[in-house]
Amino acid sequence: MEQMKTGTTILGIKCKDGVILASDYRMTMGYLRAGKMKKIIPLTDKISAAVAGSVSEAQQSTRYLQAELRLNQLKLKREMQVREAANFACSMLYSNIKYPTSYNFMYCALLIAGYDLHGGHLFAAQPDGSIQECDDYICDGSGMEFALSIIEAEWKKDITCAEAKHLAIKAVNAAISRDIASGDAISVFQFTKDGTKEVFYGQNDLEVK
């Protein structure tokens, strides 16, 4: 049976010392649990994307972005900036709407995060090609309402990555508890001047070390 679409909870939190990206791991097909899927995909060493949408389209879009960003780094002989990666993604997404034959696999939403010479950045790229830079937080996917309610209640200005990690876990866990299309595991990635790393993988905040 073909695996077509995934329900998702993805979120990003801008912090004073970097950026946090978090997601669940469940892949669904209608009302059926179809398996697990890693939803935070590295685009470069310092930039990653959290994906929401059809599985095949999310996978193909991130592969295309990885290749294009790598090619541009070789051409420019420098690392890609987060804003450049986000703008490139939005150009492809818009091309899918304007010229459907160009990137017909691109109907998905992306949260793009990373850390570059200008600090930490968080962007939301929507299927219609629109782009939004986020200075606080953003959620997407089928479980976004549940995750957003937790973040809005507990987020504070100048939150640190350490604090945001716990908040992200709590928010995704709330979505998993209520949204049938989100589940299986929680992954949290941190982007700071010290690099990119997965700072949590597990089921709930009780497992945080």
pLDDT band at 204 (very low <50, low <70, confident <90, very high): low
Percent of the chain with pLDDT over 70: 84
Contacts of 73 by beta carbon, 8 Å cutoff, 6+ apart: 44, 79, 80
Q: Which pLDDT score, from 0 to 100, does residue 34 have?
A: 62
CATH superfamily of 10-207: Aminohydrolase, N-terminal nucleophile (Ntn) domain (3.60.20.10)
* pLDDT band, residue 42 (cuts 50/70/90): very high
Percent of the chain with pLDDT over 90: 56
Q: How many CB atoms lie within 10 A of CB 32?
A: 10
Q: Are strands 119-125 and 18-24 parallel, antiparallel or unpaired?
A: unpaired
Neighbouring-strand partners of residue 49: 41, 112
Q: Which of 61-75, 96-110, 154-168 has the highest mean pLDDT?
A: 154-168
Least-confidence region, from 130-134, 165-169, 178-182, 185-189: 178-182
pTM of the full structure: 0.87
Which residues fall within 8 angstroms of residue 187, CB to CB, at 6 or more apart?
Answer: 22, 23, 24, 25, 38, 39, 40, 198, 200, 201
Distance CA 126, CA 51 (A): 10
In Å, the largest CA–CA distance within the chain is 48
pLDDT at position 3 is 42
Average pLDDT, the chain: 85
Q: What distance in Å separates the CA atoms of residue 168 and residue 3, rounded to the nearest whole number?
A: 28
pLDDT tens-place string over residues 54-68: 777 778 888 889 998
- The yes-or-no answer on residue 6 being catalytic is no
pLDDT of residue 37: 81
* Domain map (residue ranges) of the chain: 10-207
Active-site position among 6, 8, 62, 192: 8
DSSP helix/strand/coil, 52: strand
pLDDT of residue 99: 57
**CA atoms of 108 and 55, how far apart (whole Å):** 9
CA dihedral 95, 131, 41, 64 (to 10 degrees): 20
The mean pLDDT value for 131-140 works out to 94
Contact 10, 62 (CB under 8 A): no
